[in-house]
Amino acid sequence: MTNFYKDKVVIVTGASSGIGLASVRNFASLGAKVVLAARSIEKLEKIAEELNNRFAAHNSQLIAHCIKTDVTKEEDCKNLIEKTIETFGKIDILVNNAGISMRAVFKDMDLSVMRSLMDTNFWGTVYCTKYALPYLLETNGTLVGVISTAGYVGLPARTAYSASKFAVRGFLETLRIEHLYDGLHVMVFAPGFTTSNIRNVALTADGTPQGETPRKEEKMMSAERVARILARGIARRRTQMVLTPLGKATLFASRNMPRVTDKVEYRMMSNEPNSPLKKIK
């Protein structure tokens, strides 16, 4: 894939941790120039310095550039795209990865939680895509939305999360059809449960972070492996990728045995520690 990624300009939102961080490191290792976007500029600067020292030393070219971005703000997203063009002159790939999660049943959840999830997961994708799209069309580039199995199947106690990921999928699938003959590649990427801090900072019913993950992180797919699969999917111009056997099985079952799938999902999520769902024995 080195030939494919050499000198490609890749923007990754949510680049300070998890899949985003693993992805910028992987893209840089493949010869791409990466733009790191997130709210924590201190973290981004350290990562960019690491990547430039590692991959740019032999030719003195800038490999990694970081731009402080809050994707819930349209102006920040516009600035991200404009600064990328000023720095590298083009955009080949936009990976909309920034996202937050939550855990609460809807009847107990403050509506501010729903707004927060939609602002980050959905509107963040819309804003960045809107301003990057003209440049992606110039390069026959790639537009990626990182969603989840929860963007295909409703996940109990993740109401706002599922709603936002369904919205991202619908948005991207429509764009793919609108630009079917324009050379734009659109990929919906659903990695499933991945080792990251997203569950530690997931919002509870009142909007406060839950503070710790309810799942066994060590048994999940690593962010580094997800990043490698993402890069292969982009190079092969895949339109949809659902990772993990559990994710694929859930989609298959939901189409063929929807009532059984509902019960299995409920039981699985209710068995999480401190689940807001009533446990079924």
- Just list the catalytic residues: 161
Torsion angles phi and psi, residue 239, rounded to 5: -95, -25
State the residue for tokens 């609108």: 178
Q: Are 40 and 20 in contact (CB under 8 A)?
A: no
Distance, CA of 215 to CA of 132 (rounded, Å): 36
Torsion angles phi and psi, residue 194, rounded to 5: -130, 145
Q: Are 155 and 162 in contact (CB under 8 A)?
A: yes
Bridge partners (DSSP) of residue 142 are 93, 185
Residues 6+ apart with CB under 8 A from 124: 13, 71, 72, 77, 96, 98, 99
Q: Distance of CA 79 to CAs 12, 98, 259, Å?
A: 14, 16, 46
Could you give the 3-state DSSP secondary structure of residue 233? Answer: helix
Q: Tokens in use for 192?
A: 């499933």
Q: Are 17 and 227 in contact (CB under 8 A)?
A: no
CB burial string 149-161: b at 16+ within 10 A, e below: bbbbbbbbbbbbb
